[in-house]
Amino acid sequence: MTADKFRSLALEISGASESSHMSHPDFRVGGKIFATLGYPDPEHGMVKLTPEQQRTFLHKAPSVFEPCAGAWGKRGATSVDLAAANVALVRAALDAASKNISTKNKNT
């Protein structure tokens, strides 16, 4: 998978827009980030999953998904190795991450 394909999949999410945060492209729903590109390097993306969802994706595809470093990773921020990823896995992860944000917005 390429960064451009990750971007196109993220932007397929209903209500998604692209912005920038800390010099990295990010993808938002309702103004809240659900995914980024280029962290920790150009070969990776990130999806904001719940810790439970993170464990599920790590189990399904340990060569694709890895917890991000530190507290963010413990809270579900999950790195995506673009070269090892396929469309179905990334689409599922982006969908989960965007729904997490949508649900959080409804509860606030």
In this structure, are residues 34 and 25 in contact, taking their beta carbons and an 8 Å threshold?
no
pLDDT at residue 102, as a whole number:
74
Tell me whether the omega of the peptide bond preceding residue 40 falls within 30 degrees of 0, making it cis. Answer: yes
Q: pTM (2 decimals)? A: 0.92
> What residue spans define the domains of the chain?
3-107
Q: What is the CATH number of domain 3-107?
A: 3.90.1150.30
pLDDT at residue 23, as a whole number:
82
Please give the share of the chain, as a percent, with pLDDT higher than 90. 87
How far is Cα 105 from Cα 3, in angstroms, rounded to an integer? 27
The pLDDT of 9-34, averaged and rounded, is 94
User: What digits encode the pLDDT tens for the residues 47-84?
Assistant: 999 999 999 999 999 999 999 999 999 999 999 999 99
